[in-house]
Structure 1
C-alpha cells in the first residue's frame, strides 16, 4: 500500500501551464512515514486545485487539502485547508515553462480544534510532453501559517524549505 501511495504521489503533483481561456484541474497526493526510535508518524495528504487561465500568463483558482496523520500512541488527526491561488507562468521554450504559485487560505485541524491561516509561494518547472500533457517539478518554497486552539498557545511558523522536498507530477489543461 505504501509503495502504491508513493507511486501516486510521484505521478500526480500540480496543475500548470495552459492557454488563455483554459480550465486547469490537478493536485497533489502524498504519503509520508517517519520512525525515530519507537515513535512512528505516518501521514497522507490529498490537495486538489481548480483554476481558470484568464491570460497567457495568469491563472487564478481555488485549492484545498485534506491531511490525515497518526503518531504512535495517539489518536488519528485530520487537517483541512481551503483557499485561493494565483499562478504566473512564462514559457522558456516550446518544451519548458517556469511558473510560481501563491496560495492563501484558511486551515482547520482536529488537534485541539485549532484554526488559522496559511500562505505559500512555490516556484516550479513544467515540461510539455504532448497535447497539453506534461510533467511538473518543484523542490520547495516559502510558507507561513498560524494556528490557535482551545487550551494551546498560538503557533506561528515561517519556513523556507527549498531542497527539503521534491515533487514530480503529471498535468493536463482543458480548453473551453
Structure 2
C-alpha cells in the first residue's frame, strides 16, 4: 500500500512539472442584475466585474503574479440613484497540486490596494460623493479543469478574506468566510 501511494505521489509531481516556466493568464467576468418591485417604487441593481490576472510559474507548483479588478454598479429606487466604482490591484501567489492530467486543485493568496467611489443622486441632483482607499487580502481555494493544452476552467466556491476602506470620516473593515455562499467560474491559459 505504501509503495502504491509513493507511485501515485510521484505521478502527480510529474504532471506538475509540465507547467514550470510558463506564463499564466486568467480571470473572471461577472454580471448581476436584480429587480425588486416594492410598494413605494421599483428597485433595480446592476453590477459588472472584470478581474484578470497574470503570473509566472517559477516552480513546479508555484505561480506568482499580479491581479486587477474593476467593479461598476448602479442602483435605482424610483427617482433616486446610486453609482459605485471599485478598483483593486495587487499581487498573488498560487500553489497548485495536480490530481491527474485533467484536474488540479489550487489556492490563491492575494493582497493589494483598493479604491472605491460612490455617488448618490436624488431626483437627478448629486447629494453625496464618497471616496475611500484601503487594502485587501484573501485566500481562495479552487479546482482547475484542464480542457486542452493548458487552457482550462477554474471553479471556486468562496474563500476567506479581510479588507479595509477609509472614507473621509469613517473607517470600514470586513472579515469574511463565504465557503459555499458564492460560486465563481473563470478561465485560464498557460503559455
Q: Which structure shows the bigger proportion of residues in strand conformation?
A: 2
Distance 2:188 2:61 in 1: 17
Q: Find the counterpart in structure 2 of residue 102 from structure 1.
A: 109
Q: Find the counterpart in structure 2 of residue 19 from structure 1.
A: 19
Structure showing greater radius of gyration is 2
Unaligned runs of 5+ in 2: 1-15, 119-129
Q: Does 1:46 align with 2:64?
A: no
Q: Does 1:55 align with 2:72?
A: no
Q: Are the counterparts in 1 of residues 23 and 56 from structure 2 also a CA contact under 8 Å?
A: yes
1:165 to partner: Cα distance = 1.2
Q: Find the counterpart in structure 2 of residue 84 from structure 1.
A: 91
Q: TM-score when scaled to structure 1? A: 0.84
- Give CA deviations for 1:72-93 in whole Å, capped at 9, x if unaligned: 1224221110100000001111
Q: Does 1:163 align with 2:170?
A: no
Distance 2:34 2:175 in 1: 22
Higher relative contact order (CA 8 A, sep 6+): 1
Distance 2:189 2:117 in 1: 34
Determine which of 123, 126, 145 is the counterpart of 2:144.
126
- Give CA deviations for 1:2-46 in whole Å, capped at 9, x if unaligned: xxxxxxxxxxxxxxx871110111111111123343332211111
Unaligned runs of 5+ in 1: 1-16
Matched pairs, number = 157
Q: Are the counterparts in 1 of residues 27 and 187 from structure 2 also a CA contact under 8 Å?
A: no
Distance 2:81 2:161 in 1: 27
Q: Find the counterpart in structure 1 of residue 153 from structure 2.
A: 135
* Greater than 4 Å deviation, 4+ residue runs: none
- Give CA deviations for 1:53-103 in whole Å, capped at 9, x if unaligned: 000100000001111011112242211101000000011112211100011
Q: TM-score when scaled to structure 2? A: 0.78
